[in-house]
Structure 1
Amino acid sequence: MYRFLPLALLLAACSGAEPRYLIEAPAEVRPAPLAVASLEVRDVSLPAYAEASEILVESADGGLEPAENALWADDPMRAVTLALADRIGRASNATVAAEPWPLEEDAQAAVEVRVTDMVARASGVFELTGQYAVSSYERVVRERIERFAIAVPLVDTTPGSIADATGRAVAQLAAEITEELSR
């Protein structure tokens, strides 16, 4: 009986754990032809506050505060990077993967995203702003830097709503990158 006590204590401690939320970008159904056959998505650069495991929301005075009893299910940088790579891969005819590039032959191009703002605003909008750079080792596509400013309405500022809006914003960014690379 005593050998099961540690397991019982562990389960009791976990029962009050904070819920964790995923960053999931809805899947695209119509693949678009890209100007590259392979694309590497570099690790997304997030502001320090967005790298934290806590889900943050802007308060009425402009401060960022943790949503009550809610955490991201994965490291936000990793989750956003993988969601972008997955969404671009599903929305295109290219072979797409997050870094490090897993294949022996290098990707024809890479995209690097630097996020300036990733925040659930008190005004009821989730904002994702920044820039992305497209580089092409063999000049298969024109290298360039593009800015993005995405605003997704929030149903409310609950963690589930913020997670949903984050996924939709990442999906919009992936669609912008896909469109840019299909030219």
Structure 2
Amino acid sequence: MRRFLPLLLLSLAACGDTDPRYLMASTPTAEITRTALRVATLEIRQVSLPAYANDDLILREEADGALTPIKGALWADTPARAMTQHLADRLSATTTAQVAAEPWPLARPAQAEVDVRVSQMASRTDGKLHLSGQFAVSSFDQVVRERIVPFAIAVPLSTDTPAGIAAASGQAVDRLAGQISVTLSR
């Protein structure tokens, strides 16, 4: 019995994780017209996030500038994976290209790749979620012009609760997808 007691306690501790988890929400795409891209296939590379933004904890900025976790609120998925998949899904729904997150699932390579590097993603005291950084478009066969494009997006928070931050995060990623599609439509 003594041998099994530590395993039982460990199992009970694992079952006690009841913190709510929040999805990065997306705005509906039913009324959006599809943008014609200059590529037929597009790969979204794994998004690079700063360490604080890639944690499971949902953070918000305090008056002193510190980013602190909201007690008992976690992301439903790892933020880098969620953002990568969200971008791929959004671009797939709003453009004419076949879009997938890496690793590319088809035998023939994608005509272009997008590599997003986020320098800042935070819920700030100004009542907005800020998302900034740059994305690079690469095309081995030069189907489109390669380039690096900076972005700076600010989305008003409906509330500074975890649900409000999750909704604003999704809207910010949707806007980033829109900027990427405009870049690839030229």
What TM-score results when the alignment is normalised by the length of structure 2? 0.90
Shift of 1:26: 1.9
**What's the secondary structure of 1:56's corresponding residue?**
strand
Instruction: Check if 1:123 corresponds to 2:117.
Output: no
Aligned length: 177
**What's the secondary structure of 1:142's corresponding residue?**
coil
Aligned match of 1:160: 163
CA–CA distance in 1 between the matches of 2:14 and 2:91? 40
Match for 1:114: what amino acid?
R
The CA RMSD over aligned residues, in Å, is 1.8
**What's the secondary structure of 1:173's corresponding residue?**
helix
Kept in 2: contact 1:27–1:90 (CA 8 A): no
Instruction: Check if 1:97 corresponds to 2:100.
Output: yes
Between 1:105-114 and 1:25-34, the stretch displaced more is 25-34
Aligned match of 2:176: 173
Match for 1:144: what amino acid?
R
Shift of 1:11: 8.7
Does the C-alpha gap of structure 1 residues 122 and 14 become closer, same or farther in structure 2, counting only changes over 3 Å? farther
Instruction: Check if 1:142 corresponds to 2:145.
Output: yes
Between 1:106-115 and 1:20-29, the stretch displaced more is 20-29
For residues 53-105 of structure 1, the C-alpha deviation after alignment (integer angstroms, 9 at most, x for no partner) is 00000000000000121000001000000000000111111010000000000
Instruction: Check if 1:50 corresponds to 2:65.
Output: no
Instruction: Check if 1:26 corresponds to 2:27.
Output: yes
Runs of 4+ in 1 over 4 A off after TM superposition: 10-16
Match for 1:175: what amino acid?
G
Q: Which runs of 5+ in 1 are unaligned?
A: 1-9
Q: Which runs of 5+ in 2 are unaligned?
A: 1-10
Does the C-alpha gap of structure 1 residues 52 and 13 become closer, same or farther in structure 2, counting only changes over 3 Å? closer
Query: Mapping of 1:41-80 within 5 angstroms?
Result: 41-80=44-83
CA–CA distance in 2 between the matches of 1:180 and 1:112? 13
Match for 1:57: what amino acid?
R
Does the C-alpha gap of structure 1 residues 135 and 16 become closer, same or farther in structure 2, counting only changes over 3 Å? closer
**What's the secondary structure of 1:24's corresponding residue?**
coil
